[in-house]
Structure 1
Amino acid sequence: MNSPSEQAPRQAQRQTQRRARRQAQPQPDEQPDPGLTAIMSERRQLLNPAYRLLGSLADAEDVVQETYTRWYAMSRAEQQAIESPGAWLTKVAGRICLNLLGSARVRRETYVGEWIPEPLPDPVEWIAGAAGGAGVDPADRITLDESVTMAFLVVFESMTPAERVSFVLHDVFRYPFAEVAEIVGRSPAACRQLASSARRRVAAARAEAVPDAARQTSVVRRFKAAWEAQDIEALLGLLDPGATAISDGGGRAIAHLRPIEGAEQIARLYLTIARYAPPRTILERTVNGLPGLVVESEGRIETVFAFKVADNDRITHIWAVRNPDKLRPWRLP
C-alpha cells in the first residue's frame, strides 16, 4: 500500500512506537500496573475492526501500536481516571483509522496500478512467524468471517470513510451508535444514516447467491488443474463470460495496471503466465476465509489469489496480490 519513499519514515515511526512501549513497561523497582493485563487483552478487539476498516494488516497493526503509545503517554493518574479503558482505546483507534482512511484515498491516487486489500492466511494453515521469525503474527488474531472476504473488503472500499466506520463498528462489531458518533464526530442519527447507506451496498453484494464452501473449493481446485494443464477450454468453462481479473503489484512486482475483462482474455492471460513464468508451485490455501491459491517460486510466496464464485459454479472475480509489502503474513519458513 505504501511506496518505497513512504516506507522509511513509517519504519522510523514503528521504531519510536516500540521504544515507547518498552519504556511503558514497569521496571524492576517499580510497582506493576494492575490494569496492564486488561489493557493488553483489548489488542485483538482493536486489531479486528482496524483490519476491516483499512484493508491492510500492516496499517491495522500500526493503528493498534499508536493507540497503545497514546495510552502509555498518559500518567498513571490520567489512566486511572478513565472509567472504561477499553472504550477509550476503541475510540482512539477508530479516530486514527478514520484519519488514515481519508489520507489513503489521496495515497491511492499515486499508487501504481490497482489497489487490492491485503490478503490473510488461515491460522490453521499458518506456517510462518511474525517479523523476525519470533512471536505470533497479527494475522492469526484476525477473526475470519464474512466481513473479511475479499469481495466484502472490496465493497468496503467503495464507501466513504464515515460510512465505513459507522457500518463496521455498528453492524459488524455491535458498537452502539452513541459510541460510533464520538469516533466519527457526527450525531448518532447521522451515523445511523451512514450505516444504512453502507448497508445497502453490502446488501447488493449479498444478493448474489454463492455456492457452499465445498463447491467453491471444487471450482478453485479445477481452476488450478486447468491452469497447470494449460487447458484453455477447461478455463473458459470455469470462468463467467463477464469475469474480471485484477492484479496488485504496487510498482514492486509485475502486474497488469488495469483490470482484465472477459473470460477469454483472462484465460489467455493465464495461459501466457503458465507458459513463460519461471518454475513455480501452485498451492491450495484459504485466503480471507475462502478457498484460494498461492504461488510459490524459489522458496517464497510471490502471488496470493482470491476468488469470487457464483452460484452457477463460475468464477466472476479473481484478485491476485503480488505486492510483496502485502504478502508479509505469507512468508515461508
Structure 2
Amino acid sequence: MSVLELVRADLRGFAGYSSARSATVTGDVWLNANESPWASPGDASGSSRRYPEPQPLALREKLAALYGCDVAQLLIGRGSDEAIDLLVRALCEPGDAVVTTPPVFGMYAVCARLQNVPLVEVPLVDGEAGFAPDFDAIGRAALDHRAKLVFLCSPSNPTGAAIALADVEALARRLAGRALVVVDEAYGEFSDVPSAVGLLDELSNVAVLRTLSKAHALAAARIGTLIADPALIAVLRRCQAPYPVPTPCAELALAGLSDAALAQTRQRVETVKSERVRLQSALAAMRGVVRVYPSQGNYLLARFADAEAAFRALLAAGVVVRDQRGAPQLGDALRITIGSPEQNDRVIAALDTDKAAAA
C-alpha cells in the first residue's frame, strides 16, 4: 500500500501554490516576483530583497548527509512544529484521530486541537526503569479510534527515555495501511539509540522529525526537518507555505553544518552527556529529591518532596527551569536542561539544602 492512501483524498493531487521561485527559468534581470530592484538600507548583504529558495538545495543536501537519508525524503520547515502541523492538516479527515503518549511535547495535541482532530492519549507507564510507552495499548487505541497519526517522542520530552527501534518497527508494521508512525527525534544527538530513519526503506508509514534547535544551537533559525517517504514529502511540500526557509536562516544553518562546526557540536554533545551523568548523580544524592529519571536527552526530569520550594530556590539563584507540575503524572516534577559545567554547578548549589543549612 502506498503511503499516499493515508493522505486526505482531496490533497493527493493538490497542486498547491506555484511561486515565482518554483519556476525553472534563468535570466539576469528578475522582474517576475514584484520584488524591489534595490536592497533594503538595513540589509548589508543585499540578499534579502529576493524571495528565498522554497527548499534550499544546498541545505537539503547537507541535512540529508547529516541524517543519513535521500534528499527526496527530506522536507525543511520552520522548526519541527511546522512539520507536525502539516502532517495533521494533510492526513486527517473528519473522523480520524491523533494518538499521543503523555506526558509529552505539547505541540502534537495543539496541532490536533487546531484542526479539530480528536486526540487519543495513551499515557506513558512510570516503572522502575522510568517512563515507557505501552505499545500494545498504543496499537489498540490507534486501530479502535481510526488514528491517522501516532506521535512518538524519542528521547521523550520531558521524561527522557528513548524508544528501541524494534518497538517502533513492530508498531509501524501493526499499523501498516492504517496510520503513520511519527518519531520525534529532536534530542536524537544526545541519545545512544539509533535513528528511526533506518526503518524508512522498508516501512513507508514511518516518518522522523529532526531539528537544528537543540544540539546544533540554532533554535532562533527555526530549521526543522521531516524525513519520510518521497511521495508524502512531495504532497506536504505542496501544502506548505511558499517560502518557509528565510535566506538568512538557511545561510546560518549551512554555516552551522560545516565540518568545523559539526566537529565542535560533537564535542559539546559529549560534554552534555558527561554533565548529564554528573548532574543526575548530584541530584539523586540530595535529601529533597524524590527521584531523578534516567535520560537520553539534554535534560533531566526530577521529582521533589517540595517542588515549589525547589523551583523558587532555583529562581532565587537566577536559574530558570521548566515547571512540569501541570503535566499528567508530574505534579511534583521539574525538568532541568543540562547547561555548561558552571551552570550545572549553580543548579547543584541552589538545590543542595544540606550545604545551605550548614552554611
- TM-score calculated relative to the size of structure 1: 0.33
Q: Higher helix fraction: Structure 1 or Structure 2?
A: 1
Larger radius of gyration: 2
- TM-score calculated relative to the size of structure 2: 0.31
